[in-house]
Amino acid sequence: MNHAHQVYRSRREALLASMRARSGGGVALVPTAAEVARNRDSTFPYRHDSYFYYLTGFPEPEAVIALVADPEGDRHVLFCREKNEEREIWDGFRYGPDAAREIFGFDEAYPISELGETLPKIASDRPALFTPLGLFEPWDRRVTDLLNEVRARARTGVSAPEEIVDVRGVLDTMRLVKDEHELALMRRAGAISGAAHLRAMRATHPGMYEYQVEAELMHEFLREGAQAVAYSSIVASGPNACVLHYRENNRQMNDGDLLLIDAGCEYQGYASDITRTYPVNGRFTGAQKDVYEIVLAAQLACIDVVKPGVAFHDYHKVAERVLAQGFIDLGLIAGPLDEALEKGTYKQFYMHRAGHWLGMDVHDAGLYQVKGESMRLVPGMVLTVEPGAYIRAADNVPERFWNIGVRIEDDVVVTQDGCENLTPIAPKTVADIEAVVGR
């Protein structure tokens, strides 16, 4: 077992300790995701379940882990596909139980075909069952069948778990603070994605189609070893930049348009999430620059307040204040600032939160508030910082601002005394952008 797989075992041990503290022990059962049919006999590229992978590092489908908190000693058990020469000729390498046990640091490993007969033994006489409830419908049925099977054996002197706990509660808390292994992967993901945005800027010129710019992003992602996009790339020019989740990416870009790109790769299971906005012809108009500078000022102000002890929602409030004052200065809304904030008039142009947790999932695991109180930031939390301004054509908007959509987004990790930007490679000042677009 190498160092990376020791990291996963340590996480499993932490989960077992949490199970003991909460329920006096029990068994945790966590499945990975199923393969998903795309059409006919083709499947989508396989993506593991994040909770399962967080505990195992095991990449194959058709796998389940069982973690047993036992007075006689904890057990780390993996169920996975058997070695199969014929299937491996067609579909590629499989670890098989024996190799998987040794490489991934499990105490025991069995063929997935033995899950049905083995689980009732593992789950008998356990005070609690920890499992993801409502994550996969077929798994929910299997858990119900398992409990009924153990209950049916009551006459043999065994008992079923009386307490059923959604294991994601514990795992969400664990996943919220990244360890050094995770941060190294996220730095790499951020570096790849930042380089991809830079490549896209250099390739852009009027007359191109949005999907041609998307191809530049994909080229860099794959060239640098990323396995996939972390989410569907948004490559939104002109009026499309005012559609928050624009996905068509098929418009031809015109001289004078702004281009908003929200794109990030997934690297070894970890997401990056970057947005940059720039003029297709490499030069901001006066109105575009005015709006852009307001959004950039808001983003930099937000980053400044991200530090340990600060409430998660504080940087969103900073974004609202800076953007609202900027909109007042441009004559887009009426002042004074406190009145604009109270009435929410700024929401015509800024209608989303300033960021979210980031990790194995783009909108990552973890609560944002507990019992009405905002989560406090601690070192190791990773979050996006992404204020924006989206000015659609409207009767109350001067025409020079119509169809200007700007968002600027970076990924930051909370450090001991502030935060570290994981995505600094992509240019974001006006001068730096104008120096590289189309060059």
Interval 100-123: pLDDT, tens: 999 999 999 999 999 999 999 999
Residues shown for the chain = 439
pLDDT at 71: 85
Checking if the pLDDT of 404 tops 90, the result is yes
Contact by Cβ (8 Å): 188, 195: no
- Is the pLDDT assigned to residue 56 strictly greater than 80? yes
Query: By C-alpha distance, which of 302, 201, 315 is closest to 261?
Result: 201
The residue type at 13: E
Q: What is the mean pLDDT of residues 294-309?
A: 98
**Placement of tokens 């409830």 in the chain:** 133
Summarised one tens digit per residue, pLDDT across range 251-285 is: 999 999 999 999 999 999 999 999 999 999 999 99
Q: Which of 343, 256, 358, 357 is nearest to 312 (CA)?
A: 357
Could you read off the pLDDT of 219-229 as tens digits, one per residue?
999 999 998 99
Task: Identify the band that residue 211 occupies on the pLDDT scale cut at 50, 70 and 90.
Answer: very high
Per-residue pLDDT at 136: 94
Provide the pLDDT for residue 121. 93
Q: How confident is the model at residue 1 (pLDDT cuts 50, 70, 90)?
A: low
Contact in structure between 316 and 375 (CB atoms under 8 Å): no
* Average of per-residue pLDDT across 211-223: 98
State the DSSP H helix or E strand holding residue 237, giving kind and residue range, or none if neither. Answer: strand 234-237
Catalytic residue numbers read 41, 245, 262, 273, 352, 356, 363, 386, 390, 407, 409
The pLDDT of 311-315, averaged and rounded, is 97
Q: Is 250 exposed, middle or buried (0-12, 13-18, 19+ CB in 10 A)?
A: exposed
Nearest to 312, CA basis, from 396, 370, 260, 229: 370
State the average pLDDT over residues 327-340: 96
Separation of alpha carbons 302 and 322, rounded Å: 9
Residue 90 CB partners (closer than 8 Å, separation 6+): none
Report the share of the chain in percent with pLDDT over 90: 95
Question: Please, what is the average pLDDT of the chain?
Answer: 96
What is the structure's pLDDT at 155?
A: 85
Q: Over range 383-409, report the average pLDDT.
A: 97
Q: Is there a contact between 64 and 31 (Cβ–Cβ < 8 Å)?
A: yes
Are 79 and 115 spatial neighbours (Cβ–Cβ below 8 Å)? yes
Provide the token pair at 29. 């059962």
Q: Amino acid identity of 74?
A: D
- Predicted confidence (pLDDT) at residue 2 exceeds the cutoff of 90: no
Helix (H, G, I), strand (E, B) or coil at 5: helix
The answer to whether 216 and 195 are in contact (CB under 8 A) is no
What pTM did the predictor assign?
0.95
Give pLDDT tens digits for 139-163. 999 999 999 999 998 888 899 999 9
Share of residues in the chain with pLDDT > 70 (%): 99
Under a CB-based contact definition with an 8 Å cutoff, are residues 63 and 31 in contact? yes
Q: Is the peptide bond before 71 cis (omega within 30 degrees of 0)?
A: no
Q: Calculate ∠ Cα 233-234-240, nearest 5°.
A: 160
